[in-house]
């Protein structure tokens, strides 16, 4: 794989994100400064996406808030399975 691909940011994929037609759940800790803006960007450009910010959490939200993380994932998967996403 060409090493140049790894230098691209999420912003370079705007058109490709808009083509995604499957449900997507974007989760981000509100203290994960490097991921807040990219998460908002993905929410704006993936048509079937939802976004949740975890309060007082950083990058490892699944480790910092495992119950909340699991609840969001379960609710997302349940909604998708029932056609309610």
> Contact at 8 Å (CB) between 85 and 23?
yes
How far apart, in whole angstroms, are the C-alpha atoms of residue 17 and residue 48?
A: 10
Residue 20 CB contacts under 8 Å (≥ 6 apart), including other chains: 46, 47, 48, 49
How far apart, in whole angstroms, are the C-alpha atoms of residue 21 and residue 64?
A: 30
Does 3-81 carry CATH code 3.40.50.1820?
yes
pLDDT tens, position by position, 16-31: 999 999 999 999 999 9
Beta bridge partners, 29, equal 54
What pLDDT is stored for residue 59 in this prediction?
A: 97
pLDDT tens, position by position, 43-67: 999 999 999 999 999 999 999 999 9
Domain coordinates of the chain in residue numbers?
Answer: 3-81
What pLDDT is stored for residue 2 in this prediction?
A: 55
């Amino acid at each position: 794989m060409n090493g140049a691909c790894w230098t691209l940011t999420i912003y370079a994929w705007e058109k490709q994100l808009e083509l995604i037609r499957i449900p997507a759940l974007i989760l981000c800790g509100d203290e994960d400064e490097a991921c807040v803006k990219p998460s908002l960007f993905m929410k704006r450009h993936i048509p079937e996406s939802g976004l949740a910010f975890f309060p007082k959490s950083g990058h490892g939200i699944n480790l910092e808030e495992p119950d909340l993380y699991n609840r969001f994932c379960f609710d997302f998967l349940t909604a998708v399975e029932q056609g309610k996403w």
